[in-house]
Amino acid sequence: MTQPIRVLYIGPASTGTFDIVSIEQQSRAVRLVGGTVVRYEGRNTAELTQALREVDVAILQGPGFDPAAFGHMGLHGRCKGLVAFGHGFDQLDLAAATANGVLLANTASFGTEEVSNHTMMHFLVCSRKFVLHDRMIRSGVWTRENLSPMGHIQGQVFGVVGLGDIGRAVARKAKAFGLNVVAFDPYVASWDMLEYGVEAKDSLEALCRVSDYISVHVYLNAETRHLISHAQFAIMKSSAYLINCSRGGVVDEAALITALQEQRLAGAGLDVFEKEPVDPNNPLLKMDNVSLTNHYASYSEVAWERAQTQLGEEAVRIANGMWPMSLINPEVHHVVPPRKPARSWEVCAREVAVGRHP
């Protein structure tokens, strides 16, 4: 019988006595396999390091994580991994984690349907000039003088940058509108794109030249920061729209504003920004051809609960010698000893239960 696992929950600063009920969803999977979740109550790196010595894996929800702590994890301590809440991981030092043999995971996929739906909402709002006409009718103006130009949608080209879980869902939904979908993702083989029913483009520039709508679905890292900037806006159609429901830093916001002000772009649909909350003086807020939402694309009650429970599931996998489903530093494969492949949660839970009660 294996020793019950211990998981450290690192959340927002706590107030008052810790109640396990407050993180019932996050700890559900851990408790199901007989493990224990303890809450981190420290305030500095030394206290964090001490807490990590007494657990098998950590869950991060809310604050950042001091990369110095990675030196006491992985190859150098009991705690073998860190599971972070959400799709992104730009708040984590992947290089430091990998060098120390720390497995990093997140809860990618929890909001795939929500983000892809949100993307299509922005696409429709842009294509039908909804922002402009909504503002006009609310101000008492009833006119059809501002309808043209307006695309037909069916037969137009929808470009997807990044063909991961969300990008594929967006591509599938775009095809339902009769759009011709093209995609650029240097990490996805052309034959896989064929299986997804999209046309592969061999460069971002090639996608930008032909697309009537461009939607980005990539992580924010050194490779993708300002992936869409002056050079890309210069070759896009003046009738094209840009949609961003990934991370604000993927798009050079100053370049986007310039392109919109100079009418080199028809408009944009944005859920994310380089600075959040948005500066009230940001010119984007005053543009009638830009639809805006406040970084909530991934939210629904169902998705949010799935994200919370997935934290615990990934923690169980790591603590029991498996790879996580959503590994975000794959280079760690070359640093740590071999592990068992990730299993679906149903299979994983059963295997762990059998290991506890042979």
Residues acting as catalytic residues: 247, 276, 295
Cis before 277? omega within 30: yes
CB 118 within 8 A of CB 96: no
CB 251 within 8 A of CB 242: yes
Residues near 286 by Cβ (< 8 Å), separated by ≥ 6? Answer: none
Q: Identify the helix (H) or strand (E) that includes residue 83.
A: strand 81-84
Collapsed DSSP state (helix, strand, coil) of residue 16: coil
Q: How far apart are CA 90 and CA 259, in angstroms?
A: 27
CB 84 within 8 A of CB 58: no
Pinpoint the alpha helices (H) of 128-200: 130-138, 165-176, 190-196
Residues near 11 by Cβ (< 8 Å), separated by ≥ 6? Answer: 23, 39, 40, 61, 62, 63
Q: How far apart are CA 358 and CA 355, in angstroms?
A: 6
CB 105 within 8 A of CB 318: yes
